[in-house]
């Protein structure tokens, strides 16, 4: 809706921000991730490291940026990780049967 009817203007800081996010935050880290997957003997072990990302992000937000982390955020994180663990446990049971 906004793309069709809003008065959108692309200024230089906005475009530079988009280039930074695309090149550094998304592009460079994606290349690093693919390189790690290619160089490892066990892609399953490396792939499990992705689950550390939410925890590391919360630590970064709290201690580096100094922003408060609300009580509901860690609770939601625990629920998400608990659901992933529960799913993996169920998958192991069905593969043994």
Q: Enter the pTM of the model.
A: 0.52
Asked if residue 32 is part of any domain, the answer here is yes
Q: What is the pLDDT of residues 70-84, one digit of tens each?
A: 889 889 888 988 888
**53/61 Cα distance (integer angstroms):** 12
- Residue range(s) defining the domain that contains residue 19: 1-39
The arithmetic mean of pLDDT across residues 85-96, rounded, is 74
Asked if residue 47 is part of any domain, the answer here is no
**80/52 Cα distance (integer angstroms):** 12
Task: Name the E strands within 14-67.
Answer: none
**Is 63 found in the same domain as 34?**
no
**Is 25 found in the same domain as 60?**
no
Q: How many domains does the chain have?
A: 2
- How many other CB atoms sit within 10 Å of the CB of residue 4? 6
Asked if residue 44 is part of any domain, the answer here is no
Asked if residue 96 is part of any domain, the answer here is yes
Question: What 8-state DSSP symbol labels residue 66?
Answer: -
**Is 33 found in the same domain as 63?**
no
């Amino acid at each position: 809706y906004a793309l069709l009817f809003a008065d959108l203007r692309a200024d230089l800081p906005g475009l530079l921000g988009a280039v930074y996010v695309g090149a550094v935050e998304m592009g460079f880290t994606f290349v690093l991730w693919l390189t790690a997957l290619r160089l490892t003997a066990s892609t399953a072990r490396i792939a499990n490291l992705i689950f550390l990302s939410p925890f590391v992000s919360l630590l970064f937000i709290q201690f580096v940026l100094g922003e408060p982390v609300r009580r509901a955020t860690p609770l939601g994180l625990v629920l998400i990780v608990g659901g992933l663990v529960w799913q993996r446990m169920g998958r192991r049971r069905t593969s043994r049967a």
